[in-house]
Structure 1
């Protein structure tokens, strides 16, 4: 008798648990994935960017451009396992499999030294303009594909010198690539670094 009563109370719990698992764990994700693929196929596929028939990156994830002839993104604090010691990590900028910030606070000596070094290098490149804050600070994800228009314009002298093109041409290129606020109110004006560098290649090969 007691087993029968227990089963009576247990059955609804099991049925509801199974139903919620199917609905929220299977049906809903599949429905949203299908809807996103139908309404926003490019974004649902990762906003992949192709050039000459091959994928060169994503509009959602930054890349670590280091050459003087390219615009650079903001610093990235992502890491990857050390091949020589699995208990340690190594810097791996824009590592999409390990999205994270540095978790270093304002009293961190390592953070202060890194920012000071970046500031010195940037001021050597362009001693006349103030260094935009996003060129020396990392984002929470470490994967930001965009920088502020001011950060892109700050780099114009270096890129122009490396490529041997007029600064005016590069400023015009940057301005043409500025994206406004979403719906006119959300976020800040920004420039996608990969898209800008692809346009830069079209303007003048390094």
Structure 2
């Protein structure tokens, strides 16, 4: 009886040491090291890629926001109501009649707002991204809004076109993705001009 009690003590001790090493080493120290390294190597990205103007945070270059005023380019629709704590797509299948109805209504509204035919409305102005807060639009979706923004601001469309061209990002590494424009950064550049 005494032999089995003595033999089980080292097993429990080893188990507790392993649990503590795993919890503290990998659960705490590894996480702190990774966070610290990320903040050191990528300070802007590690803090949410926040954009500040006059000492005030106005948004993040990673998160879309709604713009209601005609003086601004409109963002892509959001299934999450632009709430970063509720990231989600609509989860509606392409065959869902509610999705088709919502897209048709959005296409008609965008076409009326921009003064174009519904067939000319780019898809990213009427569809939601998978995460629900994609901050980018395609150049086509931005170009269709130039006339409205220029008219609302009382400036030449050519000036707005130059800003759009200056804020058009090429595909990453020249091959990944498509050209895109960060709507918040473009709208801030319009305000700053």
Decide: shared fold, TM above 0.5. yes
Q: Structure 1 residues 7, 76: CA separation in 2 closer, same or farther (over 3 Å shift)? A: same
The structure carrying a bigger helix percent of its residues is: 2
For residues 7-60 of structure 1, what are the alpha-carbon distances to aligned partners after superposition, in whole Å with 9 as ceiling and x for unaligned? Answer: 433433332232122222111111111111111111111111111221111111
Secondary structure class of the residue paired with 1:104: coil
Q: Once the 2 structures are TM-superposed, how far is the Cα of residue 102 of structure 1 from its aligned partner?
A: 1.3
Residue 98 of structure 2 corresponds to which residue in structure 1? 110
For residues 156-202 of structure 1, what are the alpha-carbon distances to aligned partners after superposition, in whole Å with 9 as ceiling and x for unaligned? Answer: 12212222222222111101101112222322221111110011112
Residue 144 of structure 1 corresponds to which residue in structure 2? 134
For residues 127-160 of structure 1, what are the alpha-carbon distances to aligned partners after superposition, in whole Å with 9 as ceiling and x for unaligned? Answer: 1672221111111111111111221111112212
Residue 56 of structure 1 corresponds to which residue in structure 2? 58
Secondary structure class of the residue paired with 1:191: strand
> How many angstroms apart in 1 are the aligned matches of 2:178 and 2:31?
31
> How many angstroms apart in 1 are the aligned matches of 2:61 and 2:159?
24
Which of 102, 121, 137 is the equivalent residue of 2:109? 121
Which of 14, 21, 24 is the equivalent residue of 1:22? 24
Q: Which runs of 5+ in 2 are unaligned?
A: none
Secondary structure class of the residue paired with 1:55: strand
Q: Once the 2 structures are TM-superposed, how far is the Cα of residue 121 of structure 1 from its aligned partner?
A: 1.4
**Aligned alpha-carbon RMSD (Å):** 1.8
1:76 aligns with 2:66: no
Q: Which runs of 5+ in 1 are unaligned?
A: 79-92
- What TM-score does the superposition give when structure 2 sets the normalisation length? 0.89
The number of aligned residues is 189
Q: Answer whether contact 1:75 1:136 (CA < 8 A) is retained.
A: yes
Which of 196, 199, 206 is the equivalent residue of 2:186? 196
The structure carrying a bigger strand percent of its residues is: 1
Which of 42, 45, 52 is the equivalent residue of 2:44? 42
Q: Answer whether contact 1:77 1:102 (CA < 8 A) is retained.
A: yes
> How many angstroms apart in 1 are the aligned matches of 2:25 and 2:58?
37
